Amino acid sequence: MARRKKKNEEAELEANLLPVMNVMFLLIPALLLAMEVARFAAVTVTPPKFAAQADEKKEEKKEEKPLNLKVFIMEDGYRVSAQGQQQGAEAGKSADSNKPTIPLAKPGAPLDDFARYDYAKLEAEAARYKSLFAHETVVTISAENSIPMQALINTMDALRGSDCKLLKAMMGEEVPPECYFWQPIVEAGAG
């Protein structure tokens, strides 16, 4: 006996894949375009260069002490140290390691207010150090855990110099004199 279909039984439904295929068709070019845009937003990082130097150059460099400029971003300002000594400390005496050498421009402002830091004074200090150590280009930057990323970026910009344009230098020309410390090294929590 043949079985009759009940009126209540539903007919089989076929999956309609056309809308899903349309979405995938649109996503592929969008992802490819996003990859092109992401490439332009990359920051160029170069590893340190090692080269064999002549003995004469080594002797000349031994006479010059490296600057070792370090900037520590704290909630209450910047602590700047150079040649292993904190700015403002006298020879033989150590400065208070928790006291900022460049205080806030806006004391009492919330942490998310990036204008609370005195970027102009930091840039002036960078210009002063650059005039004393013209060959130095590296600065080590570290920050407390609560410091926002934008404050770190603004600090790197101030240490580089607000008028610094490095495009021609990357093409082989000399670095302009208005570029101070344009090779930052960011350390995690080092003071």
Q: Is the pLDDT of residue 120 over 70?
A: yes
**Residue 155's closest CA among 170, 144, 165, 166?**
144
Give pLDDT tens digits for 64-118: 678 899 999 999 999 999 986 776 554 444 555 678 999 998 888 888 887 899 9
pLDDT at position 156 over 90:
yes
The answer to whether the beta carbons of residues 155 and 148 sit under 8 Å apart is no
Contact 141, 187 (CB under 8 A): yes
Strand locations in 3-123 (E) = 70-74, 77-82, 85-86, 102-103
Could you give the CA distance from residue 12 to residue 55 in angstroms, rounded to a whole number?
Answer: 87
Q: What local confidence, expressed as pLDDT, does residue 63 receive?
A: 62
Domain boundaries, the chain: 64-188
Whole-model pTM over 0.85: no
Looking at residue 114, the DSSP 8-state letter turns out to be G
**pLDDT tens-place string over residues 51-60:** 555 555 555 5
| Stretch among 59-68, 117-126, 165-174, 176-185 having the lowest mean pLDDT | 59-68
